[in-house]
A and B are shown apart, each in its own frame.
Chain A
Amino acid sequence: MNISVHKMLRSPLFLVVAAVLLWFSAAFLVWPNLRLLGEVFMPNGEPTFRAFERLGSSRRAMDSLRNSFLLAIVLSVTVNLVGVFIVLVTRYFAIKGARVLYLGYATTLIYGGIVQVAGYKIIYGEHGFVTNLLAGAFPDMDRTWFTGMAAVVFVMTVAGTGNHLLFMTNALARVDFQTVEAAKMMGASTWRVLLTIVLPTIRPMLYAITILTFLGGLGALAAPQVLGGTSFQTITPMILTFANSPSSRDLAATLALVLGVSTMVLLAILNRMEKGGTYFAVSKVPTAMKKQKIANRWANAAVHAAAYLLLAVYLVPPLLIVLFSFTSASAISTGTLAWESFTLKNYALVFSDYEAFWPFLVSLGYGAFASITVVAGMLFVARLLQKYRNRVTAFIEFVLHIPWVLPSTLIALGLIIAYDHASWIMGNVVLTGTVALLGITYVILKIPFTLRMLKAAFTGVPDQLEEAAAILGAGPLTTFRLVLLPVVAPTAAAIAALNFNSLLDDYDTAVFVAHPLYQPLGIVIKNATGEDTLNDATALTFVYTVLLMLITATTMWLVYGRPSAGRRRKPKAAEPAGTAVEPVTTRN
């Protein structure tokens, strides 16, 4: 669907959105980062390219860079395989206890970072349960087997499937069930139906998730640091070190640009593939999806077994984290649970400060503001970009992805450099030292993710819906509100929840731009658990992770859960089956 620039300019909705978008992009995405890159690459007015030479001659930098790419590529395959599998067993195939499975798999959505990896280490590490079992069977085995690339890939694969669970589930609900039935009547096997009808429908979402997975692999931090050993370190720790050292920022920016450009290349390729596809398997007549039984008995048994084995893999680490958060640092380091090591001391320490709740409130406030603002804004932008495809919109789309190219530390620095003085582009308002700056930074950081996922969601909306609304006399805003918005609302809500959760423990940007009176949780956590604290803070890290789990689980529950009475479940005719996507805990 290529619409000329000329035609595009005739839409009033477009003009308003475009004006806001252009100012925002120029003021927040282009100008600050240009200023920053200018300072980084031309510290004395002369361009310097020593970064390439320095990095090229460093064996460690090159190895780390290679590992990051390797990890990104491997994860793009493994996460998609596992992710599609868990979506199918919870949403497509008739598997016993699918709801329990879903909740178990969803645990990966509510926690992350170093403690998540530690949770796996407690099970598979040197003194772990699984290692002890294996050592019983093979006494000669190497107890430190759970290190290196395989361990990193394993943990990051399991941790990376959350996007599938949230977004692919929504996409899957749009599959035309009648086509599935027709195919089966014509004798197509379960496997064939899956490959030729189901997968093509969810392809736009698959592309979008692949980009996220690729980015996650490139930006891997905690898993390689904890499990990689000396043989499998990635580039992100080095980028962060250099980004915080003024004279080495050109190295950080160069490395980040290398990663960023490759992400953009992948994005362009997938955009092209997405554009070329047709997604007419999307249902236009609402027929509720019925779960498919796997005909072959052995296959059915195998899928059940695999699903429950995976459940154990997903579920045990978070349970152990909760348990160990009540123990001491020495108990955590040896992975042993004993009655006498249980204590409430860690929790008492976190809550003893009478101001302890303030950072929670600040983080909740910023998280809610940023996640809702960015989703609301990007709803319009994503539709615009998806509907009008020409060079101008392609360029705007590229600009909106800039926050994926640079590490958040550098984006925060760019904003400080650009707006620590009155500047006409900002209406002469100085942004540094204000409460607004952190909120703005969070909105900026969440744009690419939000845009990419919403665009994929809009791709599944058939044009006929809009045309029908227009024929009935609805203006563009009405059409947007009454026709388009309901279709993408589940995805939008999922994005908002994920944005919110991911901002809760942010440190890298808050450390630069947070207002002294409004310091978010991430800063408190980092200071309480940093390496230079008086006491070994391993146990406190666990406590904060559990507290974050509680908040994120609550967010997810607010958005998805709460089976409310009187919910209208009857989809109306004007709406594709996609809108009838039920929240996670719907009683089937």
Chain B
Amino acid sequence: MNFPPFAKHRIFAAASALIAGSILLTACAPGAGESAAKADGKESLVVYSNSVSDGRGAWLTAEAAHAGFDLQLVDLGGGEVMNRLSAEKNNPVADVTFGMNNVYFEKLKAQDVLEPYTPAWSGEVDAAMGDQDGKTFWPIVREPIMLVYNQAAFASADAAPQDWTDLWTKDQFKGRYEVPSASTGATTQMVYAGILSRYADPNGELGVSQQGWDQMAAYFKNGSTAVKGEDLYARMKAGKVDAGQMWLAGKNSREAEYGIKSEAVRPKIGVPYSVQHVAMVKGTKKAKTAQKFIDWFGSAKVQAAWSNKFFTAPTNKEALADANQQAITQTNAFTAQDIDWALVAENMDAWVEKIELDYRK
């Protein structure tokens, strides 16, 4: 047989390595839905979260192990966590999910993906931030979604925009602010919610009055579209734009990276707060362990430690004293905009569709 020498050896070598590998993979993989009970009797929990990147996941896994939980984190974006949970609802893989905001959790609740549970710390948080008429998801961390501007671009704070609406109604800001290049990001959808929910109208298209849609159209028409691969702060530094959307923790790290000072606008109407929640997944076979984990994770002690480590403002009132005070001060510096999250959650997908088709450049 005259096989070209490279093909023969390598393909066989690779194939045998591969077969060995896949047997190994299947051998030590827990099957679907089976409880992966360990030798010491610990049940492992599968946790889906969009809030475990940047080292948060490693920290959580280690801390949870001390507390007796064996976590398997699945680190995905907010939209992906939601889509995956709803796709798997007939045969769930996850036991617990946390990190997503109200919009996503309201959508999951509407699809009957979450199991009601009242955590031990329910009295220590403002339950109104979470599930309004049920007990499915509970708040853990809150963070303002802000409009930031480059300080160097404006002579004084008075010369800078005072609210989102200034951007497209006042000539000096037109073309000088960044609008998102995709509608999929969680922050972006919060910005949409902040603008559109001001014009809520039960008789309007998708729950929003025509005036509201005109504002959205003007927002995109007068904005400078974000460029993939270029950060807002890079564009501000280069003088291409002067303002754009940002979340609290992101502002601090980017100021350090690019060496520019930015300031957040404080609109009278307030800003949308992205509140992260935790919930148990319906159909989990490890409900007891999942509940214990939720009780532990949202407790004042763990939330205070999380805050100090990752610059967050906990919702657990008992955690505030020991938490990162700077993060709390900066978070509380804003007024919370009054937003009907149920309305937002019900319509967000349709809003995104309309914006993508009709308004984005």
Question: Which of the four size classes fits the interface of chain A?
Answer: 35 or more
Measured CB to CB, the closest approach of chain B to A403, in angstroms, equals 19
Measured CB to CB, the closest approach of chain B to A267, in angstroms, equals 28
Question: Which of B84, B186, B229 is in CB contact (< 8 Å) with A538?
Answer: B229
Measured CB to CB, the closest approach of chain B to A307, in angstroms, equals 26
B22 interface residue, CB < 8 Å from A?
yes
CB under 8 Å from chain A, chain B span 204-261: 225, 227-231, 233-234, 237-238, 247, 249-250, 253-254, 257-259
Per DSSP, chain A at the interface is helix
A439 to B21, alpha carbons, bound, how many Å?
13
- Interface stretch of the complex, out of B264-272, B300-308, B314-322, B351-359: B351-359
A446 to B33, alpha carbons, bound, how many Å?
29
Q: Which residues of A contact B72 (CB under 8 A)?
A: 516-517
A434 interface residue, CB < 8 Å from B?
yes
CB under 8 Å from chain A, chain B span 169-222: 181-187
Q: Which residues of A contact B360 (CB under 8 A)?
A: 60
A348 to B277, alpha carbons, bound, how many Å?
32
Complex contact A571–B2 (CB within 8 A):
yes
Complex contact B361–A230 (CB within 8 A):
yes
Q: Which residue of B lies closest to A248 (CB)?
A: B353
Complex contact A527–B228 (CB within 8 A):
no
Question: Which of A241, A439, A517, A579 is in CB contact (< 8 Å) with B356?
Answer: A241
A416 interface residue, CB < 8 Å from B?
yes
A564 to B7, alpha carbons, bound, how many Å?
12
Q: Which residues of A contact B6 (CB under 8 A)?
A: 493, 559-560, 562, 564, 583
Question: Which of B77, B234, B249 is in CB contact (< 8 Å) with A527?
Answer: B77
A433 interface residue, CB < 8 Å from B?
yes
Complex contact B15–A372 (CB within 8 A):
yes
Contact with B along A323-366 (1 / 0, CB 8 A): 00000111001100000000000000000010100000000010
Contact with B along A494-528 (1 / 0, CB 8 A): 00100000000000000110111111000110111
A130 interface residue, CB < 8 Å from B?
no
A334 to B358, alpha carbons, bound, how many Å?
33
Q: Which residues of A contact B186 (CB under 8 A)?
A: 532
Question: Which of A241, A433, A435, A541 is in CB contact (< 8 Å) with B352?
Answer: A241
B87 interface residue, CB < 8 Å from A?
yes
Q: Which residues of A contact B32 (CB under 8 A)?
A: 430, 432-434
Q: Which residue of B lies closest to A222 (CB)?
A: B228
Question: Which of A58, A333, A355, A439 is in CB contact (< 8 Å) with B358?
Answer: A58
Measured CB to CB, the closest approach of chain A to B217, in angstroms, equals 12
Question: Which of B2, B15, B55, B230 is in CB contact (< 8 Å) with A486?
Answer: B2
Complex contact B90–A241 (CB within 8 A):
no
Complex contact A333–B234 (CB within 8 A):
yes
Complex contact B87–A534 (CB within 8 A):
no
Known contacts A226-B228, A435-B29; A524/B75 CB under 8 A: yes
Contact with A along B1-40 (1 / 0, CB 8 A): 1111111001100110110011001100111110000000
Q: Which residues of B contact A532 (CB under 8 A)?
A: 50, 77-78, 185-187, 247, 250
Complex contact B184–A244 (CB within 8 A):
yes
Measured CB to CB, the closest approach of chain A to B199, in angstroms, equals 21
Question: Which of B91, B254, B358 is in CB contact (< 8 Å) with A430?
Answer: B91
Q: Which residue of A lies closest to B81 (CB)?
A: A511
Complex contact A245–B352 (CB within 8 A):
yes
A562 to B7, alpha carbons, bound, how many Å?
12
Known contacts A55-B357, A523-B76; A567/B5 CB under 8 A: yes
B86 interface residue, CB < 8 Å from A?
yes
Question: Which of A526, A535, A559 is in CB contact (< 8 Å) with B253?
Answer: A535
B338 interface residue, CB < 8 Å from A?
no
A290 interface residue, CB < 8 Å from B?
no
Q: Which residue of A lies closest to B45 (CB)?
A: A516
A421 interface residue, CB < 8 Å from B?
yes
Q: Which residue of B lies closest to A526 (CB)?
A: B77
Residues of B in contact (CB 8 Å), total: 81
Measured CB to CB, the closest approach of chain B to A127, in angstroms, equals 9
Contact with B along A207-229 (1 / 0, CB 8 A): 00000000000000010011000
Question: Which of B22, B84, B250 is in CB contact (< 8 Å) with A365?
Answer: B22
Known contacts A515-B29, A527-B53; A486/B253 CB under 8 A: no
Complex contact A114–B229 (CB within 8 A):
yes
Question: Which of A534, A541, A579 is in CB contact (< 8 Å) with B54?
Answer: A534
A245 to B107, alpha carbons, bound, how many Å?
11
Q: Which residue of B lies closest to A55 (CB)?
A: B357
Known contacts A369-B22, A435-B25, A560-B6; A329/B234 CB under 8 A: yes
Complex contact B4–A247 (CB within 8 A):
no
CB under 8 Å from chain B, chain A span 50-72: 54-55, 57-58, 60-61
Q: Which residues of A contact B361 (CB under 8 A)?
A: 60, 230
Measured CB to CB, the closest approach of chain A to B15, in angstroms, equals 6
B80 interface residue, CB < 8 Å from A?
yes
Question: Which of A54, A57, A527, A581 is in CB contact (< 8 Å) with B4?
Answer: A581
Q: Which residue of A lies closest to B253 (CB)?
A: A535
B152 interface residue, CB < 8 Å from A?
no
Complex contact A516–B46 (CB within 8 A):
yes
Q: Which residue of B lies closest to A436 (CB)?
A: B26
Known contacts A527-B77, A532-B187, A535-B54; A365/B18 CB under 8 A: yes
Complex contact B10–A558 (CB within 8 A):
yes
B63 interface residue, CB < 8 Å from A?
no
A149 interface residue, CB < 8 Å from B?
no
B88 interface residue, CB < 8 Å from A?
yes
Complex contact B253–A534 (CB within 8 A):
yes
Q: B residues near A, CB below 8 A?
A: 1-7, 10-11, 14-15, 17-18, 21-22, 25-26, 29-33, 46, 50, 53-55, 58, 72-80, 83-84, 86-88, 90-91, 93-94, 181-187, 225, 227-231, 233-234, 237-238, 247, 249-250, 253-254, 257-259, 310, 349-350, 352-353, 356-358, 360-361
13 more contacts with CB within 8 A, not counting A247-B353, A416-B88, A536-B234, are A58-B358, A225-B229, A328-B257, A353-B55, A430-B32, A433-B31, A433-B33, A490-B7, A516-B46, A527-B77, A530-B77, A534-B54, A536-B257
Can you list 16 residue pairs at the A/B interface with Cβ under 8 Å?
Answer: A58-B357, A329-B257, A333-B230, A365-B18, A420-B90, A432-B93, A434-B32, A490-B7, A511-B76, A512-B83, A523-B75, A523-B76, A531-B185, A532-B250, A534-B249, A558-B10
Interface pairs A-B: 10 shortest CB-CB: A433-B32, A333-B234, A58-B357, A225-B228, A489-B7, A247-B349, A433-B93, A435-B29, A534-B54, A527-B53
